[in-house]
Amino acid sequence: MPNENIRKKDSARLAWDSKPRRAPNPKDIEFQTAEVVIPNPAHREQLPLSFRDGKLGEAEIDKQKMSRLIWGDNLLAMQALLTQGYEGKINLIYIDPPFDSKADYSHKMTINNNPTLEKGGKGGFEQGLEFTKEPSVIERLAYKDTWAGGTDSYLDMLYPRLQLMKRLLAEDGSIYVHLDWHVGHYVKIMMDEVFGRENFINEIVWQKIRVTKGQSIGFGNVHDNIFIYRKSSKAAFNQQKRDFDPKYINSHYRKEPETGRLYRTVSFVQKGQGQARYFGDKLLEPPSGMHWIWSQEKIDKAMKESRIKFTSKGTPEKVQYLDEMEGDIVDDLWADIYPVNSQALEDTNYSTQKPSALLERIIEASSNEGDLVADFFCGSGTTLAVAEKLNRRWIGCELGKVGIQVTRARLVEQQARPFLIENIGNYQREMIYLTGGRIYEMQHLILKLYGATPRDKMSGLGIRKAEDNVDELVYVGYPDRPVTAGKAEELALQAQKLDGRGYKRLIILGWDYEYNYHQALESRKSALKDKIKVEIISRDIPPDIYDYLKKAKTDEDIEALSEKVKFYERPYLKMNEPKIKDLKDGKAEITLAIKRYVLMDIPISQTSKKGQEDYTALMKIAKDNFAVLIDYWAIDWDYDGFTFKSQWQSFRGNGKKAKTVITETKETLEKKKRIIAVRVVDIFGNDAGAVMEV
């Protein structure tokens, strides 16, 4: 019989009322490729391809051999990666999840109507208009969901994600979780449970603040905590070194008179009894219980090279020259890496950006060249940019479009290898934050605010008589997921048959749209040109809609508010006709230029005086110089009708490196019939596209 008096060991667990009882399972969720980004034109032909049945004509991009930037919820992304063969394949995971309930997804931006920059000048936006890009509704919902129940909600969010990360880690893999005093102590216990206490490696203390502000009670909070866990005892680790502190050098090293070299002496013994050795012509016994660290042969060689010095008592010591030392061994206190400040060249104006030096140390310590590194809260993309620089493959995931755009710009700027930008498919089925009833009620109100009559038993659909006397079918998207091109196609086919007579116009009101929505929709319409005959107009629901919904209590309220609510039209892009110049040797020079890019309305909340002022100022700047609103535009010189390949791009850049994009470019290509696709993305995340046959 087992002894019931024997107490259990290491049974402590973190408990909270809403703690998930089961680990999330892998899900067969599709990744939709929005872009294949080719930062360096010289790498156009270097895409990794796989071939079906060995037929060269049926090649497709091998995603598992490429780095991937994924827009969407990281829980779904990780579940999808597991079903696609990534279990046990990621060598290093670093995450910097939100750990402050006051944080949000807003992003400060600066633009300037400087005409010298439109022509590709090297200046920046020195005294431009600064404004705050409000978070999208999807970002707001994610933030609200993370903190709705305080710490419990936060743990609900992180716990299943850590379980998935453990499955994705390779046997020699490690995970670094970056937190601070808000929730770090809770997460440490949670990680003991998920990864095992025996797999805890370190708690790194990183000093992130250098100028301490006084607190009325207690000491200043100047550090973050980074918890390191391994998947197994096979974890890879490369010892890191750093430069010696000048104070340490002054206190421990002295100058050798003969050579002027800085040196110090260190003990020549270690524990464990050993035999006597000759130091020149002297036979010396080691102290009791100790032994000399070198063999006789090595001692003889060191004596000839003057690598051994003797104390005043005749005790031998080993000489260490400073110029031969690789540096000081890095311990778990990191005070030598400074945070990103507003003057730093790497500053992107992204509030949670971490310094590249921090990620360099982490990636070099726990991975090797060719390994796969992942960051599922990638923010401004520091992890991915550093992994690329250090010749690692990477996977990044981010819910905010601004983070995706900032990351994309950084990778393009550093001439990264070709990488993918992807959406998470099946949002219509998978992303459910709210109950069906509440979603229906919200869609019902939005339809009324737009002036449409909701249809019975058809959630999100309504009918509206337009000013030109056309009957419109109006669809309101779900507030917790972006509208996809596939959904637009489905609605268009439905609109043509609905009510027996069909509708000639479909209005889509979306809280957000999938990355590359415009381009994907045009491709679908082109492929189904004989089937889709309905006009599709896509509009954005304004970010301040919640302020209006709170006031919409009666039909009279809705009627009064409907005059104030603006449903933003999607951007309008007009390209000049391509100019073609015949050259020798079967080549042609193609010139492409943006003629006009129009944002009918700037998506900035106008519920405050500052918002109204920013809106007016931005509209004026955009009217005079549309290029200042463009984050980047890209060209696929050989568009296949399915996957957009960014073979050329002009991008705005981040922080102090920001500049107005050029609006015209030339390219020399082989003379042949080709389809060219253009994609424009503005600073608010809207995208527009054009396809032309040359």
HEC string for 95-131: ECCCCCCCCCCCEEEEECCCHHHHCCCCCCCCCCEEE
> What local confidence, expressed as pLDDT, does residue 434 receive?
37
- Secondary structure element (H or E) that encloses residue 49, with its range: strand 49-51
In Å, what is the CA distance from 445 to each residue of 135, 278, 308, 512, 649?
22, 93, 85, 18, 41
Residue 432: pLDDT above 50?
Answer: no
pLDDT tens by residue, 595-611: 999 887 777 777 678 87
Confidence of residue 386 (pLDDT cuts 50, 70, 90): very high
Between CA 596 and CA 172 the distance in angstroms is 52
The per-residue DSSP string of 243-284 comes to PPPHHHHHHH-EE-TTT--EEEEEE-EEES----EEETTEEE
Between CA 423 and CA 409 the distance in angstroms is 18
Q: Is 415 helix (H, G, I), strand (E, B) or coil?
A: coil
Residue type, 413: E
Residue 437: pLDDT above 50?
Answer: no
pLDDT tens by residue, 11-21: 888 999 999 99
User: What's the average model confidence in pLDDT over 169-195?
Assistant: 96
Confidence of residue 2 (pLDDT cuts 50, 70, 90): low
Residue 360: pLDDT above 50?
Answer: yes
- Going by their DSSP bridges, the two strands 90-95 and 372-375 should be labelled as parallel
- Residue 17: φ, ψ to 5°: -60, -40
Residue with token string 């050798």: 256
Residue 123: pLDDT above 50?
Answer: no
pLDDT tens by residue, 489-505: 999 999 998 888 899 99
Between CA 604 and CA 611 the distance in angstroms is 7
Task: Locate 207 and state its tokens.
Answer: 């000093």
pLDDT tens by residue, 43-95: 777 788 765 444 444 567 888 899 999 998 899 999 999 999 999 999 999 99
In Å, what is the CA distance from 682 to each residue of 37, 510, 638, 653?
17, 17, 23, 12
Q: Would you say the pTM of this structure is higher than 0.85?
A: no
Confidence of residue 547 (pLDDT cuts 50, 70, 90): low
- Residue 457: φ, ψ to 5°: 60, 15
Between CA 331 and CA 228 the distance in angstroms is 13
Task: Locate 346 and state its tokens.
Answer: 């790497």
Confidence of residue 530 (pLDDT cuts 50, 70, 90): confident
Mean pLDDT estimate for the chain: 86
pLDDT tens by residue, 635-656: 999 988 778 899 999 999 887 7
> What local confidence, expressed as pLDDT, does residue 376 receive?
98
Between CA 461 and CA 475 the distance in angstroms is 5
Burial letters 236-265, b for 16+ CB under 10 A, else e: beeebebeeeeeeeeebbeeeeeeeebbbb
The torsion of the CA quartet 228, 233, 235, 239, rounded to 10 degrees, works out to 80
In Å, what is the CA distance from 138 to each residue of 23, 105, 442?
25, 10, 14
Between CA 309 and CA 303 the distance in angstroms is 9
User: What's the average model confidence in pLDDT over 262-285?
Assistant: 92
> What local confidence, expressed as pLDDT, does residue 503 receive?
93
